Structure 1
Amino acid sequence: MSYRDLRVERLAVLTALALQTASQGTAQSTSRTAITVDATTEAASNPLLRSGKDNGAVMAELSIMPEYKVTDERGNTLDLDVVATVRSYSRLYPTYVLGSVTAVRGFRQSERLSGTATLGVVRDLPVDLPTTGIDALVAPQSIRTTINGAANLEWRPDSRTTITPAISALRATYGGDTVLRATRSGQAQLAYGRLVAARTTIGVQPLFAISQTAGQPTLERYALVGTVEHGLSSVMRLNFDLGAEYLPAVRDARLQTASRGAATYVVGSLRLCRETLRLDACVAGELGSQVSALDGFQRARSLHT
């Protein structure tokens, strides 16, 4: 859950201008280009979690978001998305230039085999993340630059079974005078799902993750989670995960002692979504460990929409 002051009152005015063109490349392939301009103003009592009193300010933000998508005759896709944002405050805080570049390649070999590969660069503030963690509390005004990549395959050996191996990697660095350090992390998981009723799928998901923060020993994380996905109606869907994670003991190579003992924790999540042609809305809660640039894996609880 966000650590923002609960007394924060926001006044937001959102305007959007979308320019979209679509072209037919051949009889079998299509491409689409769009540009969205988004202007937002917001008033908050403490937008960047400063200590002390009288930290209120009005924020003005302008974002330009071009995107390009092409689909070939076999259903393979390529998505390119760019976000360029300038954010200014009426007082106390500097002007930030933020944004991202993301490329997603999707392929479809057949009805039974498909996959995606993603590569992206993001420049943001930790305090803007949906689940505000310890990094945002320690250095809320530091700019974070991340390079991330991910790939997954989805295999359907029969009409009721789905097997999805996935890998991902991330490198994060922080600008400014901050105690946060460069961090690298990676994750591998294998998800198995089985349709047991018309609207219900159950499964299991083993996971392995590794994290290394500059000046700190390498950390490992193992997890095993059971999953349930149930359609409450034609537009309402519920996802529930519950399991356990194990963090092995960490040894300090310089002192030859254990700097952190082994630990086992409960992990889980609950997500309720309403999906229609005009609007997708979700409420989600999570309990588990997330990568931190301060001290490796940190336990985190979150509730967000």
Structure 2
Amino acid sequence: MSWSSHDPRRCAFGGATAIALVLASPIAAQTVSRLEADVNAFASPNPFLLPGRKRGALGVEASLRPSIAVRTTDGSRYDLDAVITDRAYSRRYGNFVTGQVNASGEVRRSEYLTIAASAGVARDLAVDLLTSSVEAAADPGSVRMAYRGRLSATVNPDAYTMIRPEIGYERSGFTGTDLLDDTRALDAGLAYARRIDPATRIGVRGGATFSRTRRASDLSTQRLYGTIERQLGDGWTATAELGAERSSSRTEAVLDAPIAQPARTLLSGRADLCRALPGPVLCVRGSLNSEISGLGGLQRRAVAGASFRQRTGRRSVVDLSGEYQRAMIQGDIVPSFDAVRTTARFERTIGSTLTASAQVQYLRRRLIGGERIGAAFGGLQLTYAMDGR
């Protein structure tokens, strides 16, 4: 059996091997493995949110999720997990195989220094990424192949101060679409934070991203934020960043229409308000930032979301979530894209290894011409999980 240089298995294996070699430690370790297998049946009147009539279909998918976690006595950790999914539709859309492999590690060299690294490769249906990727809203019938890697070091010179340099790389490619282009981005950043009281930490975070697509000249974006994190009591935590991003001048060819874009400085930031266990888990979040687009230029992306998780019994859990994104291509060559996803899920554990769940979901996206298309989804899932050591 041979692997090509672009085979995701080879990339994932190489990433996992590199992390193991860089982060390996002779300290005694505890290893926990887990295997999950699930079958999901679902139905939707328009599963890919495409224009036209008679788009409905039934679907069934089967997934396998192995994982292994290693924890050492010095506080280091190593994780490797994967998922492979085979999805088939009853009509029109055919069969899709998707999946991902992720490897990560975190080593505590001392109480002052922690080194972390991660690598991953994923093959996704764009419609599954509807509110986390603008490309998904532009063409949800496409398939995305994504590669990523990140390396960081956390330095704690004293009990109150944190300094973290990091560098990362991402590459995405698309198949099944003539609308989207491949994207590449190299990111470097430096963060500083200091605890000013038992509940509050403030700091500053800066960095630069260097991006390119086939349709746009190379571009860079620099950013600088002030940050704050505060424990509010009763399990609540608030986190916020506020600052500015400056993009370089460049030539874009969005939808193959060339246009010169000047350098710009724009307000950016994010905010999160979350409540952790015990009790209901609740999180509200929002962000505004710039990022490279598969349409061929830089875009402004606004995101808002909320999630709620409540245990309704010893074996039952209710999950509710809603997400909204809007992306505006700079230069107004095309109208803004937006997408909505709302989900309600009920989950019940049966015995020690089996979980049954029911899920209802609504998705909506805006087409290039301005029309909005939405569809509901409903499905049942059965999951088998087995832990080992």
TM-score relative to the length of structure 1: 0.82
Cα displacement (A) at 1:229: 0.9
Cα displacement (A) at 1:108: 0.5
1:291 and 1:126 mapped to 2: Cα distance? 16
Unaligned runs of 5+ in 2: 1-25, 253-257, 308-389
Amino acid across the alignment from 1:104:
S
1:29 and 1:279 mapped to 2: Cα distance? 33
Cα displacement (A) at 1:29: 1.6
Contact 1:133 1:300 (8 Å CA) reproduced: no
1:27 and 1:217 mapped to 2: Cα distance? 48
Q: Deviations over 1:209-255 (max 9, x none)?
A: 01111242111101111111111224221111111111121147xxx
Contact 1:211 1:296 (8 Å CA) reproduced: no
- The corresponding residue for 1:211 is 211
Secondary structure of the structure 2 residue equivalent to 1:47 = coil
Secondary structure of the structure 2 residue equivalent to 1:86 = strand
2:294 and 2:177 mapped to 1: Cα distance? 14
- The corresponding residue for 1:14 is none
- The corresponding residue for 1:276 is 277
- The corresponding residue for 1:60 is 60
Q: Does 1:301 align with 2:302?
A: yes
- The corresponding residue for 1:17 is none
- The corresponding residue for 1:239 is 239
Q: Deviations over 1:71-98 (max 9, x none)?
A: 3343332211011112223333222111
- The corresponding residue for 2:129 is 129
- The corresponding residue for 1:186 is 186
1:279 and 1:167 mapped to 2: Cα distance? 35
Q: Deviations over 1:114-144 (max 9, x none)?
A: 0210111110123322634431133211111
2:233 and 2:54 mapped to 1: Cα distance? 47
Contact 1:117 1:150 (8 Å CA) reproduced: yes
2:280 and 2:30 mapped to 1: Cα distance? 25
Going from structure 1 to structure 2, the CA distance change for 1:55 and 1:228 (only over 3 Å counts) comes to farther
Going from structure 1 to structure 2, the CA distance change for 1:246 and 1:71 (only over 3 Å counts) comes to same
Greater relative CO (CA pairs within 8 A, separation 6+): 2
**90-99 or 168-177, larger mean C-alpha shift:** 90-99
Cα displacement (A) at 1:281: 4.6
- Aligned residue runs from structure 1 range 94-109, under 5 A: 94-109=94-109
Contact 1:108 1:114 (8 Å CA) reproduced: yes
Going from structure 1 to structure 2, the CA distance change for 1:258 and 1:241 (only over 3 Å counts) comes to same
Contact 1:240 1:269 (8 Å CA) reproduced: yes
Going from structure 1 to structure 2, the CA distance change for 1:42 and 1:270 (only over 3 Å counts) comes to farther
- The corresponding residue for 1:78 is 78
Amino acid across the alignment from 1:67:
S
Going from structure 1 to structure 2, the CA distance change for 1:30 and 1:133 (only over 3 Å counts) comes to closer
Q: Deviations over 1:36-95 (max 9, x none)?
A: 123333444433221234434343332211001223343332211011112223333222
Q: Deviations over 1:181-233 (max 9, x none)?
A: 22211111111111112111111111200111124211110111111111122
Q: How many residues align?
A: 276
1:174 and 1:142 mapped to 2: Cα distance? 7
Going from structure 1 to structure 2, the CA distance change for 1:278 and 1:94 (only over 3 Å counts) comes to farther
Contact 2:248 2:263 (8 Å CA) reproduced: yes
- The corresponding residue for 2:364 is none
**121-130 or 76-85, larger mean C-alpha shift:** 121-130
Secondary structure of the structure 1 residue equivalent to 2:75 = coil
- Aligned residue runs from structure 1 range 277-292, under 5 A: 281-292=282-293
Contact 2:124 2:144 (8 Å CA) reproduced: yes
- The corresponding residue for 2:143 is 143
Amino acid across the alignment from 1:113:
L
Amino acid across the alignment from 1:169:
Y
Secondary structure of the structure 1 residue equivalent to 2:64 = strand
Amino acid across the alignment from 2:104:
V
**161-170 or 171-180, larger mean C-alpha shift:** 171-180
Cα displacement (A) at 1:35: 0.4
- The corresponding residue for 1:164 is 164
Unaligned runs of 5+ in 1: 1-25
Contact 1:242 1:268 (8 Å CA) reproduced: yes
Amino acid across the alignment from 1:204:
V
Amino acid across the alignment from 1:95:
N
Amino acid across the alignment from 1:276:
L
- The corresponding residue for 2:312 is none
- The corresponding residue for 2:225 is 225
Amino acid across the alignment from 1:303:
A
Contact 2:208 2:221 (8 Å CA) reproduced: yes
Contact 2:274 2:283 (8 Å CA) reproduced: yes
Going from structure 1 to structure 2, the CA distance change for 1:208 and 1:100 (only over 3 Å counts) comes to same
Cα displacement (A) at 1:296: 3.5
Secondary structure of the structure 2 residue equivalent to 1:232 = strand
**199-208 or 124-133, larger mean C-alpha shift:** 124-133
